[in-house]
């Protein structure tokens, strides 16, 4: 007797093979039969007639490990068909912990309770580090959730106790690992003794089930690590045949210095060289063109191909290297829809949206903002969620989607400025002073500046969203007079599949494989990413012709259309955007701990 049969579906199995009509039989959370099951008996039957049955989507680059502590259901992910997240990237995360805590973007209220104001004189990426015990109390008092762990293994046990929506593939973040050893004195190279202690902590974390280690070289404290530290840690990961992932260096800033002439391709070369010297498998996150500030869109493809040639060079020398790319499908992924969210550090410093709006009407304060914005020295200027008015064309990016002022909606800030005979920064400040709750969306260019059009055409491409997750009821982070801070995207995977099949990848079988089987292969997930006998029953049923991201630019917290059923480990987790068994996921601990 089977637990469930999904019958009559058009099976796209995640390998790229042609679609075929087949039934899928599930028992004990695994797929046990695939084929014609008309004579089989099951406790439940789901009719997928006329629908596509595919593996659940695997998010190659996720920060859902951070979100899961406070919103373990992660409805924004599972309702769109994401059944597995590879998380702990960019050197960011919540474990291991020792005497200090490394601040995360979503922890503003708790951080402000022990280290106010959060971003005063700082920019996102320049990390606040606070004493752990006072922060534990503030975290519990404000969020109602205990930070009841120290080691990485204890953190995974916490996730297992609370449950989680999708499956979690955990990586050890280098930032907390470094802070656990060096504390607040991290703005320097580590000593040999400190490196040895980090290696010991990393081994304990790998023994607890981590799949590898992640670096973040555009953020503190990872940007302070020298080659001796990186090589020692990578060699530990190589002992377990694990994976070293990295937000490779993209900015010319490294620690306290600026590297003249630096280009992103140099950061990619650093990671590939680390793989060559250590023997560890390498995975570079959200790969971009190898050169910044390209003068023409047609040069993006060549900049991407130069990166692929670099990969080929190191693979020929024995380096095992993979990568993922962001979909640059930000309509629903723009999880901070208010224009004021782009200036969140200033709102934080003022204390509320209404106070920020009042301050914008003071000439002295307005002049300060104008100068900082135009010079690109405002807090958040280098953050993906910030606004850098020193970059050419910035005003053509933000299209106004809601504004109480007449004649603004549907225009970019630049278009509105030209219409009014004003400069763009002045127009930006006028908008916020007039309606501080003005909303915007990212007006994406025809060709992705992240290189999706080129990178997706390579057979090794994997895809990630680079966000956390939240629930549909989430509107803001417990701050009623602050900009909404959505912790995840609600429909990017369906939008990405539509984008891929509309021109980048022609066959839907290949598009499905790109976000399922291919990612599983890149991460060594042997029992996920395909619909086949013996695999875990992570399955999505799609009404392909009705597939629609269902975007609302002002309030993006709504599910896509066409994602009819989502199964995680054989349990029906979501049906047409409605969450049913919200915590059917599991922590997928790495079990192959043999030394090579």
Q: What confidence score (pLDDT) does residue 494 get?
A: 75
pTM of the model: 0.92
Parallel, antiparallel, or unpaired for β 257-258 and 253-254? Answer: antiparallel
Q: What confidence score (pLDDT) does residue 236 get?
A: 98
Q: Give the separation between CA 91 and CA 95, rounded to whole angstroms.
A: 11
Q: Is the CB of residue 114 less than 8 Å from the CB of residue 593? A: no
For the domain made up of 181-284+287-324, the CATH class stated in words is: alpha beta
DSSP 548: B
CB burial of residue 591 (10 Å; 0-12, 13-18, 19+)? exposed
* Extents of the domains making up the chain: 2-61+453-579, 100-117+128-148, 181-284+287-324, 349-437
Q: Is the CB of residue 115 less than 8 Å from the CB of residue 130? A: yes
Query: Could you tell me if residue 421 is left (phi over 0), alpha (psi between -120 and 50 degrees) or otherwise beta?
Result: left
Q: What confidence score (pLDDT) does residue 328 get?
A: 62
DSSP 104: -
Helices 174-182 and 192-207: crossing angle, nearest 10°?
Answer: 130
Helices (H) and strands (E) in the chain, counts: 20, 24
Q: Give the separation between CA 156 and CA 3, rounded to whole angstroms.
A: 29
CB burial of residue 147 (10 Å; 0-12, 13-18, 19+)? buried
What are the distances in angstroms from CA 593 to CA 28, 190, 524, 589, 590? 26, 27, 13, 11, 7
Query: How far is the first Cα of the chain from the last one, in angstroms, to the nearest whole number?
Result: 41
Q: What confidence score (pLDDT) does residue 25 get?
A: 98
What is the chain's pLDDT, residue by residue, as a tens digit (596 residues)?
A: 999 999 999 999 999 999 999 999 999 999 999 999 999 999 999 999 999 999 999 999 999 999 999 999 999 999 999 999 999 999 999 999 999 999 887 787 888 888 765 543 334 445 788 999 999 999 999 999 999 999 999 999 999 999 999 999 999 999 999 999 999 999 999 999 999 999 999 999 999 999 999 999 988 899 999 999 999 999 999 999 999 999 999 888 898 888 999 999 999 999 999 999 999 999 999 998 898 877 677 788 889 999 999 999 999 999 999 999 887 665 444 567 889 988 988 888 888 999 999 999 999 999 999 999 988 877 766 666 778 888 888 899 899 999 999 999 999 999 999 999 999 999 999 999 999 999 998 876 656 667 777 888 888 889 888 888 888 877 554 567 888 777 777 777 777 777 677 667 878 999 999 999 999 999 999 999 999 999 999 999 999 999 988 888 788 888 889 999 999 999 999 999 888 988 999 999 997 643 33
DSSP 189: P
Q: Is the CB of residue 420 less than 8 Å from the CB of residue 432? A: no
Phi, psi of 425 (to 5 degrees): -65, -40
Q: Give the separation between CA 556 and CA 334, rounded to whole angstroms.
A: 8
Q: What confidence score (pLDDT) does residue 595 get?
A: 35
Q: What is the CATH number of domain 2-61+453-579?
A: 2.30.40.10
């Amino acid at each position: 007797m089977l637990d469930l049969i999904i019958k009559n579906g058009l099976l796209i199995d995640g390998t790229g093979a042609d679609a075929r009509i087949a039934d899928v039989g599930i028992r004990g959370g695994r797929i046990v039969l695939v084929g014609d099951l008309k004579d089989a008996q099951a406790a439940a039957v789901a009719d997928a007639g006329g629908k596509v049955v595919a593996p659940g989507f695997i998010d190659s680059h996720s920060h859902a490990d951070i979100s899961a502590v406070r919103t373990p259901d992660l409805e924004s992910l599972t309702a769109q068909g994401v059944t597995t997240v590879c998380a702990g990237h960019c050197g960011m995360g919540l474990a291991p912990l020792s005497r200090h805590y490394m601040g995360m973007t979503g922890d503003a209220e708790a951080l402000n309770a022990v280290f106010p104001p959060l971003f005063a004189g700082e920019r996102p990426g320049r990390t606040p580090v606070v004493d752990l015990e006072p922060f534990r109390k503030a975290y519990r008092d404000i969020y109602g959730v205990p930070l009841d762990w120290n080691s990485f293994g204890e953190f995974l046990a916490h996730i297992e106790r609370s449950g989680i929506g999708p499956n979690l593939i955990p990586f050890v973040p280098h930032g907390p690992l470094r802070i656990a050893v060096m504390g607040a004195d991290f703005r320097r190279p580590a000593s040999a003794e400190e490196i040895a202690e980090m290696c010991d902590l990393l081994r304990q974390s790998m023994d607890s089930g981590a799949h590898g280690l992640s670096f973040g070289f555009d953020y503190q404290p990872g940007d302070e690590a020298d080659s001796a530290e990186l090589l020692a840690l990578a060699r530990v990961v190589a002992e377990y045949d694990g994976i070293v992932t990295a937000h490779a260096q993209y900015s010319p800033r490294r620690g306290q210095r600026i590297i003249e002439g630096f280009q992103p391709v140099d950061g990619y070369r650093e990671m590939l060289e680390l793989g060559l010297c250590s023997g560890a498998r390498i995975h570079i996150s959200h790969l971009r063109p190898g050169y910044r500030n390209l003068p023409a869109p047609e040069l993006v493809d060549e900049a991407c191909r130069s990166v692929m040639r670099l990969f080929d060079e190191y693979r020929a020398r024995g380096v095992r290297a993979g990568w993922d790319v962001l979909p640059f499908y930000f309509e629903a992924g723009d999880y901070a829809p208010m224009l004021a969210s782009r200036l969140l550090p200033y709102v934080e410093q003022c204390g509320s949206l209404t106070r920020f709006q009042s301050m914008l009407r003071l000439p002295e304060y307005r002049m300060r903002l104008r100068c900082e914005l135009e010079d690109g020295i405002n807090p958040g200027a280098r953050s993906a969620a910030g606004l850098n008015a020193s970059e050419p064309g910035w005003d053509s990016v933000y299209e106004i989607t809601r504004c109480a002022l007449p004649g603004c909606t549907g225009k970019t800030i630049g278009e509105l400025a030209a219409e009014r005979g004003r400069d763009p920064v002045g127009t930006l400040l006028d908008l916020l002073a007039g309606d501080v709750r003005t909303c915007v969306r990212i007006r994406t260019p025809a060709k992705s500046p992240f290189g999706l059009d080129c990178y997706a055409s390579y057979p090794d491409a994997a895809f990630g969203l680079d966000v956390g997750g939240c629930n549909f009821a989430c509107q803001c982070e417990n701050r009623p007079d602050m900009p909404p801070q959505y912790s995840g995207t609600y429909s990017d995977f369906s939008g990405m599949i539509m984008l891929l099949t509309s021109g980048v990848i022609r066959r839907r079988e290949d598009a499905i494989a790109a976000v399922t089987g291919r990612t599983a292969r890149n991460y060594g997930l042997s029992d996920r990413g395909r619909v086949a006998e013996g695999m875990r029953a992570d399955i999505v049923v799609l009404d392909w012709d009705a597939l629609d991201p269902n975007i609302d630019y002002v309030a993006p917290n709504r599910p896509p259309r066409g994602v009819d059923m989502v199964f995680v480990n054989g349990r029906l987790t979501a049906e047409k955007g409605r969450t049913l068994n919200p915590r059917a996921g599991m922590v997928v601990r790495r079990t192959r701990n043999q030394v090579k």
